[in-house]
């Protein structure tokens, strides 16, 4: 389990299920002097030891169990920490990519290539902590992971990360594909074809389409509300899409297997560790082998764990250069190199209306409005600050499109109840029963076509893995000496949000000036051309690369398995049958 995570640090924690088969705490030891000399016991069984250590709970345990409902289920995670990153880097000499990026010099010597992807929320957290700009924070992270003054300076084999990429690049592709998915759903009643064979991925999402980039929300839906799964967007998250892009391209262009490419993602959220462990996000899916595959994202560490990574190598993060590296090895594919490392930001995070979770909903609204001349976007606040409703209205005042934003599990539960299908009445001629019944009266307009759902109140900059206001590096005091109140936490989150929205523009010119279809700084035609080129370069179906699937998680927690079931299971394993 990550050393920095506890139940106290989670701001929207519900609790582990009472039927959890792997308890996360033990009872205190029973005092020796509580025995009663007049008490007679007829229990001859030996008492269990009272000083048991807490059980270790793995990612597989969490994904296979529906006993827990929490906004940061990674409280049960014992893997994917900064220690794992250091252990991997010190496991042996790494592969050396040629200076022109055209191949590997020591291909037969074993070893791996190390690649990292960094989220904009992590850069914002670092920027607020060290009082630097968002761009400077990105340079400091790059210097830590790849520079001579970073972690490789004290490493056993001097291994560092060959490339450090921005997940905002993959976010742009997700925004364009997400808008297409919603538009297609409105026109045909179903989402765009994803090309993924088998499973629920072939069943396209239906209205209302719900965003699927938040892994805490996905775990909650899969384990407790399977009726929601048909509504989930089939798009991969930016983290997952970036992992697929890196591993498919590098393995094809450098002639190495995916297990020799080690990819770490630096995220604001502990639940991203669970996402990286999903079987649907491995090379077995895009290769179509159907066997247990290699993860597209091998490990996830959080913003706080990034500082712990530096401390473990005795690197003073505050003193790292705030300038880019002097040189960079080109990515093996030239067109994808220009895509991954643009000379200027194509889309900036300087519009507060887009939110701090990537702007899925904001982009879809802007894209839809751009398709209708004279249309405008209207906003209405819901029950609280984390519920907002949006509508795109024509010049004549007609509502063309309705959408909403739901952040935090308390609000999500209200949304889930609204989407629960009605239950047929058992009485002949009776009305349907359930929350999906239509209210009486005239309809006020179309239902939500799209809903952006995030588990954390306030969005991803408030993720559980972000650097907190009571962290010693921020407060200058030990964590036990300071207990910030709600206002201090709110003020700190405002500073992180300000850093997120203040990313400045590069001095270089815009590389998309020849495109006339820009929406929020993104050219859909450029994104689609690049994705098509990626699929052609790797020889893989684009649907398998960009879409994923979800499944209901059925738990046997609390269920007793009888002797007959055990015999059947053993017979099946031995090759028998019934």
**How confident is the model over 406-419, as a mean pLDDT?**
90
At 79, the pLDDT band (50, 70, 90 cuts) reads: low
Least confident of 190-204, 248-262, 279-293: 190-204
| Distance separating alpha carbons of residues 117 and 246, to the nearest angstrom | 10
Residue 434 has pLDDT above 90, yes or no: no
57-66 pLDDT tens trace = 544 444 444 4
Range in 145-149, 439-443, 535-539 with the lowest mean pLDDT: 439-443
| Percentage, residues of the chain above pLDDT 90 | 49
**pLDDT band for position 517 (50/70/90)?**
confident
Q: What is the pLDDT of residue 412?
A: 92
Q: What is the pLDDT of residues 81-129, one digit of tens each?
A: 899 999 999 999 999 999 888 888 888 777 899 999 999 999 999 999 9
Q: Does residue 194 register a pLDDT over 60?
A: no
pLDDT the model gives residue 505:
56
Q: Is pLDDT at 380 greater than 90 in this prediction?
A: yes
| Residue 347, pLDDT score | 64
The predicted pLDDT at position 60 comes to 44
**Which of 398, 399, 397, 456 minimizes the C-alpha distance to 389?**
399
188 CB burial (10 A radius; 0-12, 13-18, 19+):
exposed
Across 461-473, average pLDDT: 89
249 near 271, Cβ under 8 Å? Answer: no
Please say if the pLDDT value at position 168 is more than 80: yes
What is the pLDDT averaged over residues 418-427?
A: 74
pLDDT at 115: 97
Give the chain's mean pLDDT.
80
Instruction: Give the separation between CA 403 and CA 151, rounded to whole angstroms.
Output: 45
3-state secondary structure of 197: coil
The more confident residue out of 330 and 478 is 330
Beta-sheet strand order (sheet of 399-407):
209-210, 450-454, 399-407, 387-393, 376-381
Q: What is the pLDDT of residue 486?
A: 83
Lowest mean pLDDT among 16-20, 156-160, 515-519: 16-20
pLDDT given at position 268: 94
pLDDT value at position 237? 96
pLDDT higher than threshold 50 for residue 399: yes
pLDDT of residue 299: 94
Strand order in the sheet with 299-302: 163-166, 113-118, 261-267, 299-302
Lowest mean pLDDT among 4-18, 153-167, 202-216, 503-517: 4-18
Q: What does the pLDDT read at residue 401?
A: 94
Instruction: Calculate the alpha carbon distances from 146 to 321, 326, 327, 390, 469 in Å.
Output: 12, 11, 11, 43, 28
User: Which H or E run contains 215?
Assistant: helix 215-224
| Helix pair 134-146, 303-312: axis angle to 10 deg | 40
pLDDT of residue 316 exceeding 80, the answer is: yes
Distance CA 275, CA 240 (A): 8
Q: Pick the closest to residue 137 from 22, 306, 250, 258 (CA basis).
A: 306
- pLDDT at site 18: 43
pTM metric for this prediction: 0.81
Share of the chain above pLDDT 70, in %: 71
Which of 64-73, 241-250, 343-352, 428-437 is modeled with the greatest confidence?
241-250
Q: What is the DSSP string of 36-84?
A: -TT------SPPPPS-PPPPP--HHHHHT--S-B-TTGGGG--S-SHHH
Q: Which pLDDT score is estimated for 10?
A: 43
Residue 49 has pLDDT above 70, yes or no: no
Residue 190 or 420, more confident: 420
Q: For 346-378, write each residue's pLDDT tens digit.
A: 666 678 888 899 899 999 999 999 999 999 999
Per the model's pLDDT, the better-predicted residue between 18 and 49 turns out to be 49
**Calpha distance 24→137 (Å, rounded):** 36
* Residues 60, 98: Cα–Cα separation, whole Å: 38
Dihedral of alpha carbons 473, 476, 478, 479, sign: negative
């Amino acid at each position: 389990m990550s050393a920095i995570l506890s139940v106290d640090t989670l701001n929207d924690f519900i609790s582990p299920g009472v039927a959890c088969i792997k308890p996360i705490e033990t009872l205190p030891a029973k005092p020796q002097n509580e025995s009663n000399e007049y008490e007679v016991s007829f229990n001859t069984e030996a008492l269990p030891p009272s000083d048991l250590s807490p059980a270790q709970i793995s990612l597989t345990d969490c994904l296979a169990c529906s006993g827990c409902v929490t906004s940061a289920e990674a409280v049960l995670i014992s893997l994917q920490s900064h220690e794992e990153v250091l252990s991997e880097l010190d496991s042996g000499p790494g592969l050396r990519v040629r200076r022109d990026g055209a191949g590997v010099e020591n291909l037969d010597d074993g070893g791996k290539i190390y690649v990292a992807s960094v989220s904009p929320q992590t850069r914002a957290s670092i920027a607020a902590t060290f009082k630097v700009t968002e761009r400077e924070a990105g340079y400091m992270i790059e210097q830590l992971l790849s520079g001579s003054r970073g972690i490789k300076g004290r490493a056993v084999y001097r291994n560092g990360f060959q490339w450090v990429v921005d997940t905002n690049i993959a976010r742009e592709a997700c925004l364009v594909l997400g808008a297409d998915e919603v538009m297609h759903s409105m026109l045909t009643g179903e989402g765009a074809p994803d090309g993924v064979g088998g499973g629920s991925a072939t069943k396209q999402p239906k209205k209302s389409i719900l965003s699927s980039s938040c892994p805490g929300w996905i775990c909650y839906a899969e384990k407790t509300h399977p009726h929601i799964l048909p509504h989930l967007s089939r798009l991969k998250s930016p983290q997952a899409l970036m992992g697929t892009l890196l591993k498919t391209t590098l393995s094809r262009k450098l002639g190495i297997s995916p297990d020799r490419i080690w990819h770490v993602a630096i995220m604001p959220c502990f639940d991203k560790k669970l996402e990286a462990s999903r079987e649907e996000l491995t090379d077995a899916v895009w290769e179509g082998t159907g066997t247990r595959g290699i993860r597209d994202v091998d490990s996830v560490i959080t913003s706080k764990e990034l500082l712990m990574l530096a401390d473990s190598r005795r690197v003073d993060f505050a003193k790292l250069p705030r300038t880019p590296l002097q040189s960079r090895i080109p990515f093996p594919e030239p067109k994808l190199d220009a895509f991954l490392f643009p000379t200027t930001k194509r889309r900036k995070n300087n519009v507060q209306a887009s939110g701090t979770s990537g702007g899925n909903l904001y982009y879809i609204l802007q894209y839809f409005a751009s398709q209708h001349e004279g249309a405008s976007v209207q906003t209405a606040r819901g029950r609280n600050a984390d519920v907002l409703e949006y509508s795109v209205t024509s010049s004549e005042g007609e509502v063309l499109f309705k959408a909403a934003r739901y952040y935090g599990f308390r609000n999500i539960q209200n949304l889930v109840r609204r989407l629960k299908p009605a239950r047929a009445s058992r009485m002949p001629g009776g009305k349907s029963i359930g929350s999906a019944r239509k209210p009486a009266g005239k309809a006020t307009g179309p239902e939500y076509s799209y809903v952006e759902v995030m588990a954390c109140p306030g969005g991803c900059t408030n993720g559980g893995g972000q650097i907190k206001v009571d962290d010693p590096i921020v407060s200058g005091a030990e964590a036990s000496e300071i207990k910030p109140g709600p206002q201090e936490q709110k003020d700190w989150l405002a500073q992180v949000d300000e850093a997120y929205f203040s990313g400045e523009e590069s001095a270089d010119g815009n590389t998309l000036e020849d495109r006339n279809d820009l929406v929020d700084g993104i050219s859909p035609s450029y994104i689609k051309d690049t994705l098509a080129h990626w699929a052609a370069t790797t020889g893989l179906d684009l649907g398998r690369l960009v879409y994923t699937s979800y499944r209901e998680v059925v738990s046997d927690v609390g269920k007793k398995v009888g002797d007959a079931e055990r015999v059947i299971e053993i017979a099946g394993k031995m090759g028998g049958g019934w």
